Amino acid sequence: MDLQTAKQFAAALAIGLGAIGPALGIGWMGSKAMEAIGRNPEASGEVRNNMILAIVFAEAIAIYALVVALIIKFV
């Protein structure tokens, strides 16, 4: 395996594995938020705000994985 192929493989692994965790986490957060809103509709505003904030933090991890993959690929 030459260096270019190894870089492409490493970049694919970095973004692939780095995006699985945040994707599962965002789905789990959305599910639990909908469950919480269903149980207590009066708290929907606060639950939604906290869910959006948590999704932003989880998405940041996926962006870090993308940056690492791009660094591996182009440097």
pLDDT, tens only, 27-68: 999 999 999 999 999 999 999 999 999 999 999 999 999 999
Please return the burial class of 24, using the count of CB atoms within 10 Å of its CB with bins 0-12, 13-18 and 19+. exposed
Decide: 62 and 23 in contact? Cβ < 8 Å.
Answer: yes
Q: With H, G, I as helix, E, B as strand and everything else as coil, classify residue 2.
A: coil
1 pLDDT more than 90: no
Q: CA–CA distance from 57 to each of 5, 37, 71 (Å)?
A: 32, 21, 21
List of domains in the chain: 3-74 (1.20.20.10)
- Residue 39: the pLDDT is 96
pTM of structure: 0.80
Question: Please, what sign has the CA dihedral across residues 26, 28, 31, 33?
Answer: negative
